[in-house]
Structures are given as C-alpha cells and as structure tokens.
Amino acid sequence: MRNVRPAPFLAACLSLTAACHADKLGDSAEGGGAYLLAEVESGEWLPGDITTNTLLLGSNAFLRPAANLSDEHESFFYSGNSWFNQDFVPAPATTDTRDGLGPLQNARSCSGCHFKDGRAAPPATPDDNQLGTLVRLSIPGTNGHGGALGDPVYGIQLQDGGYGDIPKEGRPTLEWREEPGTYDDGTPYTLRRPTLTIEELGYGDLHPSVMTSVRVAPHMIGLGLLEGIPEA
C-alpha cells in the first residue's frame, strides 16, 4: 500500500486550525491574561470566500462562474460567456447581433486575447502569435479628463488587424534582450527586457514624440469582486 503524507505546510495549517478550535482562549503575547481567538468563518480559507470555484481545476479553472451565483445569475453568466467566446463579424451580416467587427481590430473575439479567461502570454519571438498583446500609444500632455493623449493619427491603441482590403495600422514585434545582474549576496540573475518595433505602418508616421507601452491581456477571474468594492 502506498502511504501518502500531507505536505508540511498543509499539515501545519491543519494543526493550527485544530488547536484554535480546541481552545478558543489562549495566552496573550505578554503573558498578561487571555485573549479570544476569532472564529474561522465558512469559506474564509478560500481566496474569494464562497465565490471560489472548487470544482474545475487545472487549465480550465478560470472558466467557472462564481460558486454562490443564483440560478438566474448563473444563466446570465453563461449567456455572457457565449458572447465572450464567439467571433464578431463585419456588418452588414445576417447575424446582426454580432456584427460590427472592424474595419480595424486587435482580435475577432474577447477570448482571442483572454484565452480561457486567463492572462495572455507575451510572444517569445518576433514570429510568435501576437494575440493577447497590444501596444498603447500616447504623446506628452493630458486630455480634458486628465488622461493620456493618443497619437493624432493612430489614437491610444495600435490595431494590428484590418478586415478585407483595409490596411492594419501596423505590425508590432517584440525582441528580448537579456540583462544580467547580481543580488547583494552574490547570486546572479538575468532579466529580459523587451524591445518593441512597429513596422508596416498603414497610415503614415507616428508622432515624433510618441510613447509606447506593451500590454498583455489580464485574466478575467475576480474582476467582478473588485468592481463590487465601493470606491468610498
């Protein structure tokens, strides 16, 4: 028979939890009396409390709805999820609920960048697929709302896809340069610094003072929880 032992960290957590429940009163750090240990709430061990998915793990873990959704809201989730995964099409089209793609775009669907609702990976080489990676553009100054000023021609985001005969705005490529360094204790490390090149500009030159920022699509899980926190 194969004996399986829990990982030391998990075993320590279980022992601590058992000790807390066995005796709610413990000695204070100063030894001057007792203090009341807080009751562990149901679901507190989960990162999203009772919203956390515990049924579907691995590469599909982010695809599940929040575990505490009502039947009505779960149907809303799956309806929205179907839109998230379907390709949009150019107008006019027979599927008039999904038309309006282009004429310029970065992807045909939401999931094209947010694959399986997870975070995108930057391209490892210039020839890799660019889906999930985008380039933000700005020039010095701010707009009327205090935000960034986009390039006068290309706006605030370079769109590397065009429908039909419409030229794309440009083709961004990333190359990585290794930069070695050493920690204070003498341990060596290597960092990778991206170098961005934008080629095949479709509508003229970029602004001479344009600034660029390469971004990857973030994961979708948990964003609703953040939106639910009051700003005040």
pLDDT digits (tens, 9 = 90+) for 213-227: 999 999 988 777 777
pLDDT top residue among 55 and 3: 55
Instruction: Report the number of distinct structural domains present in the chain.
Output: 2
Query: Taking 60 as the threshold, does the pLDDT of residue 16 lie above it?
Result: no
Both tokens of 92, joined, read 């006019």
Domain membership of residue 23 (yes or no) is: yes
What share of the chain in percent tops pLDDT 90? 53
124 and 56 together in one domain: no
Domain membership of residue 84 (yes or no) is: no
pLDDT at site 34: 62
Both tokens of 168, joined, read 């794309």
Domain membership of residue 71 (yes or no) is: no
48 and 135 together in one domain: no
- Mean pLDDT confidence for 171-188: 95
122 and 32 together in one domain: no
Domain membership of residue 16 (yes or no) is: yes
Domain membership of residue 193 (yes or no) is: yes
Domain membership of residue 28 (yes or no) is: yes
∠ CA 116-118-119, rounded to 5°: 140
Query: Taking 90 as the threshold, does the pLDDT of residue 140 lie above it?
Result: yes
Q: List C-alpha distances in Å: 201 to 52, 158, 230.
A: 44, 10, 43
What would the pLDDT profile of 20-62 be if each residue is shown by its tens digit?
Answer: 444 444 454 455 556 666 777 776 777 677 777 777 778 888 8
- Mean pLDDT confidence for 64-72: 87
Domain membership of residue 2 (yes or no) is: no
Q: Which residue has the tokens 């929040």?
A: 66
138 and 211 together in one domain: yes
Residue type, 196: L
∠ CA 222-226-230, rounded to 5°: 155
Pairwise CA distance, residues 134 & 47, whole Å: 29
122 and 215 together in one domain: yes
- Mean pLDDT confidence for 110-126: 91
Does the predicted model carry a pTM greater than 0.75? no
Final residue of a domain: which of 41, 61, 81? 61
Phi-psi category of 216—alpha, beta or left, where left has phi over 0 and alpha has psi -120 to 50?
beta
Residue type, 40: V
What would the pLDDT profile of 150-170 be if each residue is shown by its tens digit?
Answer: 999 999 999 999 988 999 999
List the domain range (segments joined by +) for residue 29.
Answer: 9-61
